[in-house]
Amino acid sequence: MTLGSPIVRTTAWLLAWTLLLLWVTPCAAADRVIAREGRPVTVRFPERVRIATMPEGGAIRGEIAEPLLVAGKEVLKSGARVTLEIGKFEASGRLGKAGKAEIKEVKALAVDGSEIPLRPVFTRRGKGHRVLSVILIPVALIGLFIKGSPPTFKAGETLKMEVAGDCEVLVD
């Protein structure tokens, strides 16, 4: 048997076609689905986040609490990374004024590596202590030393959000 024999050539062609099919088949198995605007998504904070000195544009890390399914296919996996960008931030102040943080932009990492924008539908406020301050001011102006707390997300806390716009995702 030489390299030019019909058996060797046929075997080489069969091997080449088999390798090509094995390489192409996984690519062809993926589908494109569209995560429609308004689909609910739950975001969880794996650890406590205290927004005390975070600058505008600073990022908070969260994760997807429950998978997002579209047409029976998983688009966002449970535990997928979520990034929340701080927009406007007001520090807590004297006389029990609570701190305030607005979330400007939220993105979740989809199964195909693309980012799905989520709609931030909340504003996080810290706890104010105005009643306590008002009671103590007449006593000895102690209320001036009572400060509100900064916005805080507790470990394990979840937030309801939704997909901000239609997004096409490649799924298996």
In a domain, 18, yes or no: no
Backbone angles phi, psi at 99, to 5 degrees: -75, 160
In a domain, 104, yes or no: yes
In a domain, 9, yes or no: no
Angle at 71 between CA 67 and CA 73, to 5 degrees: 45
In a domain, 7, yes or no: no
In a domain, 85, yes or no: yes
In a domain, 14, yes or no: no
List the domain range (segments joined by +) for residue 85: 31-171
CA end-to-end distance (rounded Å), the chain: 44
- Residue 37 or 155, more confident: 37
| pTM: predicted TM-score of the whole model, two decimal places | 0.62
The tally of domains found in the chain comes to 1
- What is the per-residue pLDDT across 113-160, written as a single tens digit (0 to 9) for each? 999 999 876 555 445 444 444 444 444 444 455 555 666 778 888 888
Whole-Å CA distances, 113 to 52, 57, 76, 81, 108 = 31, 23, 10, 11, 10
| Residue 112 to residue 93: CA distance in whole angstroms | 44
In a domain, 19, yes or no: no
CATH number of the domain to which 79 belongs: 2.40.128
- What is the per-residue pLDDT across 63-87, written as a single tens digit (0 to 9) for each? 999 999 998 999 999 999 999 887 7
pLDDT confidence of residue 93: 58
Q: Is the dihedral of CA 65, 115, 29, 18 positive or negative?
A: negative
In a domain, 72, yes or no: yes
